[in-house]
Chains A and B, each alone.
Chain A
Amino acid sequence: MAEITMREAISQALWEEMERDERVFIMGEEVGLWGGTYAVTRNFYDHFGAERVRDTPIAEGVIVGAANGAAMAGLRPVAELMTINFAFLAMDQIVNGSAKIRAMFGGQFTVPIVIRAVGGGGRQLGATHSQTPDVVFAHFPGMKVIAPGTPYDAKGLLKAAIRTDDPVLFIENATMYQSKGEVPDGDYVEPIGVSKVQREGSDVTIITYSKGLQLSLQAAEELSSEGIEAQIIDLRSLRPLDLGPAIESLKQTNRAVIVEEGWRSYGVGAEVAARLYEEAFDYIDSPLKRVAQVEVPLPYNRELEQMALPQIGDIVKAVREVL
């Protein structure tokens, strides 16, 4: 075991998979010479060369579209989008391409691509640079959408994403690259579509993922000092969505709060709550609560931005309300 950062975990997964399988290659804006906007692919260019670490023009449509094509022709591309906000420029290739090619070809072609994209707010990058539109992509059958909250999961899940024959959107949070965690030495793979208990507790269930996990863990510490123990379920993947551990937890706590960084309307909380009401109604003793972003384009000014983003205090408050 070693303690490493999220950045190192993602970087190691890519490096090891490229060493393991020569069909794996990276392409995207700034990934080569510069080593990536968030320095994830630093040193890759020198080691793997310009062919396998390919700087692209600023053209997201062709980055994803060409990844779809290269995948059909037998390669395993990892396409990097500098931010998930730019995925909207590749939307047709993702939605009508990546997600549907297997089905529309009756399974004759697979599209084993990974689209890495950085999301989230809190860095004063304004309304069109700071979104958390994860659910938009999770809406489409055929896509897998992963958003890890710890270095351990980031590494294990990215390896799984590269190895699966399905298209995966792998969402990283821009504010979490420096966060640290234990990661085993050597190769390991985490299963896609399996959620995970990240903190034990029996008073309330917090269901969350990615940045929400970080905030929820901090909120849980605060609650613990008041004698409230929260069990935290990390979804890790939005599609497939596994609510097994959440329902198990709910059987004991009978109360749940759902935390996400994105907007509330039609969000992760909406989907999770609907499924819990459908599948676990008997275990719910108090209306479920959602913590999410205020429904405005995210402001630039630091204070306004923080106002709009979900905070630890919002989670603590929501937990008190469901108890």
Chain B
Amino acid sequence: MEAQEDLQLNLNEESLLEMYGLIVLSRRLDERTWVLHRQGKIAFHISGIGHEAAQVGAAMALRRGQDWVVPYYRDLAMMLALGLTPKEFMLGVMGKKGEPSSGARQMPSHWSIRRMNVVSHSSPVATQTPHASGIGLAIKMRGDDAIVLTSIGEGATSQGAWYEAVNWAAIHKLPVVFMVENNLYAISVRQDRQMAVEHVADKAAGLGLPGVTVDGLDALAVHRAISEAAARARAGDGPTLVEAMVQRMTPHSSDDDDRSYRPRAELEALKAQDPVRLQRDKLMDMGLLSEQAETEVQERAAAQVEEAIKFAASAPYPEVSEASYPVYAGDRADG
């Protein structure tokens, strides 16, 4: 059985349960953030609902805190797995003082967290991919013991910058894992209007690196694929493109109403494939999660989320004097 293999590989019982806990925590946090938006308490939310299993599977395949991660805006679950706390996330969505990415100067979900080796991305999509190749280059030139994982949506792989960066990493066998979270939509535009190939992984052949497609609703499958890609990168064999097939179970962001372009039946059908439930069922099948343990996981996540909201709600906003970023070297960089 595959799962048995994973246990032997490098995931023990404890880490499988940790993965599941993170997936549940991310879902709870995400759902509550939508509610906060509906209540008019926050200005913006971009959701990772339906992507959680893939993100946690990927993060757990890294040496957390040592490898570099160049994520994109949907990666809440990945960030939690790398060590972002729910409180920190809530400070971000509420634009509060002490928010770790930018001191509430940048939009939420633009992750920039030095202690986790997580590098900021700008809002224009695919601009992070060249950074990942550059970090890969630096690792190679300096002889550092690390690799880079960068993530992106399938739609953004239409950008020139994405091809340029992947091509370059392939030429120089840079230690980069290019992860694509394919949810078949770029806001309202479906994949067949974004590319003529069936899978983003098919693009890899033209750029000279291996490309694989995995079930992104299965954390263990993603964990395995990213582990293999990471091992290649560490061995000096170069980059790999890993496409995880996920599903976007919400509108693109809180600014978008998906009713005009997405059939309700299609969305309904996704619920039968909810990755949170799939992970739960799998763990139960493996005999690792009892009904009671499941209840505890859910309750623990809910408590953490409520605590985070309370904490962030009572946190102060940044002072107006903090309007300026630390724009130049030597500028004040607190908050």
Contact = CB atoms under 8 A, between A and B. Distances in A.
Interface of A: 29-30, 33-35, 55-59, 61-62, 85-86, 88-89, 124-129, 294-297, 299-305, 307-308
A23 B125 CA distance: 31
15 contacts: A29-B186, A34-B187, A55-B193, A57-B193, A57-B194, A58-B125, A58-B189, A62-B160, A89-B124, A296-B324, A299-B104, A299-B325, A300-B108, A301-B95, A304-B322
A63 to B, nearest CB: 10
A59 B156 CA distance: 8
Nearest to B158: A57
Given A297-B105, A304-B322, A61 B125 contact: no
A282 B103 CA distance: 49
A58 B159 contact: yes
B151 to A, nearest CB: 16
B323 A128 contact: no
Interface string B306-332: 000000000001101011110100000
Interface of B: 43-44, 95, 102, 104-108, 110, 122-126, 155-156, 158-161, 186-189, 193-195, 260-261, 317-318, 320, 322-325, 327
A302 B318 CA distance: 10
Given A88-B124, A300-B107, A304-B104, A57 B95 contact: no
Nearest to A307: B323
A86, A294, A301, A303: residue with the most chain B Cβ atoms closer than 10 Å: A301
A301 B94 CA distance: 8
Contacts of B159: 58-59, 61, 89
Contacts of A56: 193
Main secondary structure of the interface of A (DSSP, over half): loop
Contacts of A62: 160
Nearest to A87: B124
A88 B95 CA distance: 27
A296 B124 CA distance: 19
Contacts of A303: 317-318, 320
Contact of A300 (B106, B156, B189, B261): B106
A30 B159 CA distance: 16
Nearest to B42: A124
Given A85-B124, A89-B124, A299-B323, A304 B318 contact: yes
Given A57-B195, A58-B155, A34 B323 contact: no
A87 to B, nearest CB: 10
B291 to A, nearest CB: 42
